[in-house]
Structure 1
Amino acid sequence: MSFFTSLSGMRNAETDLRVISNNIANAETAGFKKSNAQFADLVATGGSTDPRRTPGIGAAVSAISQDFGLGQLEQTGRVLDVAINGDGFIATANAISGDVTFTRNGNLQLVATGELQDAFGDLVQAFPVDATGTPTSTTPANVLVPTVNGAGETLSSISLDAQGLLVATYSDGSNEPVAMISLASFASNGGLRPIGQTKWETTADSGPPTYGQPGIGNLGQLFSGALERSNVDLAEEMVSLLTAQRNFQANARAIDTATAISQTVLNLQR
């Protein structure tokens, strides 16, 4: 039994190493959130088992939890680099399927057609606004910045304030509110499923998204000209890496010891 107990420890140490390695690999990924492996013990027990003699039979992975703590905000000076100083997520929709996912990576792009996209081509979701910049709906939709205004003047620049209001400026100097970036919150961020590209999708555990305006509640304000760095602490991860390595080595040594004892017993029986 000691072989299988130590084997479970080696498997868990390998899982821990994989989680830590993924954290380290994404230390420079904007909007990345680190994960932590959690374990639970396994006990051989039964209705007639003496609790004073209950042996452990190893461990198993109980969860790989995500840490949604805020990463450092790094100034970039680019207008469409957006950081969220709060718990909200930027919602983006796939241009083909329409599937909505959520991200903390605010590296946004304005394409020639006037669509506002994230770094991977998904369409940013925002509330429509009137001429004063007041939202006219609580249902977000794709952002489309007019490249030419009513007077026939071409788009010269865009700006974004802390409340998420996107304003277009045209060659004649006129300004036109376009949309207000919406932020999403969830009953349980830990229930979100990571799908790569620093994006998450909803699950039954996370609950559906609730959309709101930046700066309201815990959603946080938007910082234009900045990106949120990964919340991975490399020093902490290196310590965890050494610990996981030692755990793996200790379990491997336990198997060696069990093998030596078994070999001794077999030699005695000859």
Structure 2
Amino acid sequence: MSFSQGLSGLNAASQALDVVGNNIANSQTVGFKTGSIAFADVFAGSQVGMGVQVSAVNQSFTDGVLGAGTGSLDMGIQGNGFFRLQNEAGRVFYSRNGQFQKDANGYVINNQGMFLTGYQATGTPPTIQPGAAVGPIQIPDGQMPARASDSGTLNGNLPSGSDVVTNTTFDPTDSTSYSTAPTMINAYDSLGNKHTINVYFAKTADNQWTAYSKDMTAPGDGFQQTALQFDTSGQLTTNPAKLHVQGAAYHGGEALNFDLDLTGMTQQASEFSMNSPTTTGYAPGLMNGYTVGDNGQVIASYSNGQQQLLGQVVLSNFTNPGGLSSQGNNCWSETPESGQPVTGTSGSGNLGTLYGNKLEASNVDLSKEMVNMIVYQRNYQSNSQTIKTQSELLQTLVNLG
């Protein structure tokens, strides 16, 4: 019987060394999770055991150290969750390896060519629509189309000590028809043509002003105006304080047609000053690059200074990650023992946090593995000794015969 016991010990120790060897071999594999072997004794209806067997090889899903990535699409996870991957046949896999790049069609893939999945941004401007389906994320290379300006803001201070304008006929070329130097504002039409809008202020009476706007790029038929009333504390009482912007069509684009919000204007006994004006809209732009935010959002930047949401990576977690089936290539697949996946965005529910431009290192502890290797080697030698001893006993019996 000792032969079978010793042999089972040799097999078990050999498999244990295989696990240790695999851990050490993958100590530099991104997202690798260390394995550990579990043993169970064998009985066959007697008080003397039949040996040992390997009952399971378990994996530890503790976090690896998060380090700097080398690519713009590198990602790392801390906490619960896996990247959700999909092959060309539609089969779903799960991984902690965050090394991704873009393929020839713009899809985000891993080193094995499997698609990274998440929510694709749609609409203008692109957003993640409620109830969006999870699928492969694609990064388009196309030009960002222009957006026409449809609103803007302008605020600052008008000097209360300014003289009242006596020339009540406004003329941009006649400085006696307004009180302040023009404020220039940039706006864009439907084709992305840039327009310069000048805003003028004329004091018409104490605490009363008139604001004028004129499209200097496509002047059209004149100017727009609105009256502004201030109280004795210099606070604007006009509500709503809107100055319309209107011009002519320019180089095929639609004419500008939007309002500037002047709500923040004040009138104080200080110099004329305007804060930086803002308007919506922008010219068309070419993609300069893309990054992954810490919430899993893929953001593209363009030559027109704008950024645009392209998609958002999702994570999946399981009730029992240890029940996942290892498929190689740093991937696992769902099993009845793992339970069904819970999928969501970074930081939601019990999902961990996804970090852009980071990579999760292997969680292998090399010092521990070296100690385990020594222990299993001694175990192997000890089992070999039981077989040798049993052989010597049999030889003694043969000699007695």
Q: Give TM-score, length-normalised by structure 1.
A: 0.92
2:346 is equivalent to residue 222 of structure 1: no
Match of 2:291 in 1: 159
Instruction: Pick the aligned partner of 1:122 from 114, 123, 138.
Output: 114
Distance 1:186 1:215 in 2: 15
Q: Deviations over 1:140-182 (max 9, x none)?
A: 1111122112346332111221111111112222221111100
Distance 1:161 1:257 in 2: 64
Match of 2:322 in 1: 190
Distance 1:115 1:134 in 2: 17
Match of 1:90 in 2: 83
Q: Which has the higher helix share?
A: 1
Asked whether the equivalents of residues 20 and 240 of structure 1 are also in contact (C-alpha less than 8 Å), the reply is: yes
2:145 is equivalent to residue 150 of structure 1: yes
Distance 2:307 2:104 in 1: 19
Bigger CA drift: 151-160 or 19-28?
A: 151-160
Secondary structure of 1:207's aligned partner: coil
Match of 1:38 in 2: 38
Secondary structure of 1:56's aligned partner: coil
Bigger CA drift: 119-128 or 188-197?
A: 119-128
RMSD: 1.6
Distance 2:318 2:116 in 1: 18
Asked whether the equivalents of residues 346 and 354 of structure 2 are also in contact (C-alpha less than 8 Å), the reply is: yes
Asked whether the equivalents of residues 83 and 223 of structure 1 are also in contact (C-alpha less than 8 Å), the reply is: yes
Instruction: Pick the aligned partner of 1:137 from 122, 131, 137.
Output: 131
Q: After TM superposition, give the deviation of residue 129 of structure 1 in Å.
A: 3.6
2:45 is equivalent to residue 56 of structure 1: no
Q: How many equivalent pairs are there?
A: 261
Asked whether the equivalents of residues 127 and 137 of structure 1 are also in contact (C-alpha less than 8 Å), the reply is: no
Match of 2:7 in 1: 7
Bigger CA drift: 119-128 or 253-262?
A: 119-128
Distance 2:292 2:104 in 1: 18
| One-letter amino acid of the counterpart of residue 186, structure 1 | F
Match of 1:235 in 2: 367
Distance 1:256 1:147 in 2: 70
Question: Greater Rg, structure 1 or structure 2?
Answer: 2
Secondary structure of 1:29's aligned partner: coil
Distance 2:380 2:132 in 1: 52
Match of 2:379 in 1: 247
Secondary structure of 2:343's aligned partner: strand
Instruction: Pick the aligned partner of 1:65 from 55, 58, 75.
Output: 58
Instruction: Pick the aligned partner of 2:339 from 207, 212, 215.
Output: 207
Distance 2:59 2:115 in 1: 25
Q: After TM superposition, give the deviation of residue 135 of structure 1 in Å.
A: 4.6
Q: Deviations over 1:36-65 (max 9, x none)?
A: 1101011232xxx6xxxx111101111111
Cα distance change on mapping 1:56 and 1:123 into 2, 3 Å? same
Equivalences for residues 163-174 of structure 1 within 5 A: 163-174=295-306
Distance 1:78 1:123 in 2: 17
Asked whether the equivalents of residues 78 and 224 of structure 1 are also in contact (C-alpha less than 8 Å), the reply is: no
Q: After TM superposition, give the deviation of residue 97 of structure 1 in Å.
A: 1.0
Q: Give TM-score, length-normalised by structure 2.
A: 0.63
Bigger CA drift: 31-40 or 111-120?
A: 111-120
| One-letter amino acid of the counterpart of residue 220, structure 1 | G
Distance 2:351 2:17 in 1: 33
Distance 1:99 1:217 in 2: 25
Q: After TM superposition, give the deviation of residue 138 of structure 1 in Å.
A: 5.2
Cα distance change on mapping 1:239 and 1:169 into 2, 3 Å? same
Bigger CA drift: 148-157 or 187-196?
A: 148-157
Asked whether the equivalents of residues 120 and 138 of structure 2 are also in contact (C-alpha less than 8 Å), the reply is: no
Asked whether the equivalents of residues 119 and 128 of structure 2 are also in contact (C-alpha less than 8 Å), the reply is: no
